[in-house]
Amino acid sequence: MERQTGFAVLSLSLVLWAGDAQASFYDRPKERVPLPSPIGYVSDHAQVVEQAWKERIRSVCIDLEKKSGVEMVIVTVPSIKPYPSATAYADALYEKWQIGSTQQDHGLMVLVAVEERQAAMALGRQMFPVITPTIRSEVSRLYLQPAIERRQFGEGLYRTAVALATPAQEARLTPPTRTRIKGLGLWITLGTTIAVVSFFWWISRPDLRHPYRRIQKGEYWGTGQGGFGGNWGGFGGGTSGEGYR
């Protein structure tokens, strides 16, 4: 009896644990916090960038996208909580906004978190060869960190955008190349030539295309058959010649 009771308690515990695990799985939020929505090339959610600097930054971003197809976005947020770092927040925001072209390969985001005094960059795969760790470190040291420390966000982010746009232009978008079959043009030309020659040969041989057997045997009209007045007795003499074979 005691053994059966213990088995029942264990079974009940497993059921409750499985139920709790399933509930926690479905109740898990897709995002830690609701992330903000984009409001343009300069998404100043922290409202720390003056309008004049916004226009300058926007001009740099537009010019970069027109020349190379690379989409650059500058973002400020009041805080990144509860994300552990500005990098984690920037990665989540980059994925949600789908920055860049196909599969976000040609995108670039610069994020500044005002309360945490942190900055981060999120890049598409095709941008890593041109925006190298050395460039990111230098831009952060020369422009981003001084801007955060002095709270001169407008000028600092403008200089950051200019410094990143220069190497980013090297990541030009190229249209996908069509796969070509080797020698396809030669085979098309050869096939077309054979088709044309075959057609002219066919129309020059009525014995191959005429429905009557006499013509198929090579007995053409006017070639030894008396013409229209020969074997057929003319139009007025009936069919005194051979009939249809």
Residues 162 and 100 in one domain: yes
Q: Considering the domain boundaries, does residue 68 fall inside one?
A: yes
Which residues span the domain enclosing 91?
Answer: 42-168
Q: List, for residues 104-128, the tens digit of each pLDDT value.
A: 589 999 999 999 999 999 999 999 9
Q: Considering the domain boundaries, does residue 56 fall inside one?
A: yes
Q: Considering the domain boundaries, does residue 195 fall inside one?
A: yes
Q: Considering the domain boundaries, does residue 16 fall inside one?
A: no
Distance CA 24, CA 14 (A): 15
Please name which of 175, 158, 203, 167 lies closest in space to residue 61, comparing C-alpha atoms: 158
Q: Considering the domain boundaries, does residue 226 fall inside one?
A: no
Q: What is the SS3 assignment for 168-232?
A: HCCCCCCCCCCCCCCCHHHHHHHHHHHHHHHHHHHHCCHHHHCCCHHHHCCCCCCCCCCHHHCCC
Residues 113 and 211 in one domain: no
Residues 160 and 203 in one domain: no
Q: Considering the domain boundaries, does residue 233 fall inside one?
A: no
Residues 90 and 131 in one domain: yes
**Chain centroid, CA 6 distance in Å:** 59
- Count of all residues that appear for the chain in the document: 245
Residues 157 and 195 in one domain: no
Q: List, for residues 215-226, the tens digit of each pLDDT value.
A: 444 444 444 444
> Quick check: 46 pLDDT over 50?
yes
Residues 70 and 147 in one domain: yes
Strand duo 118-123 + 107-113: pairing: antiparallel
Say what the pTM is.
0.59
Q: Considering the domain boundaries, does residue 6 fall inside one?
A: no
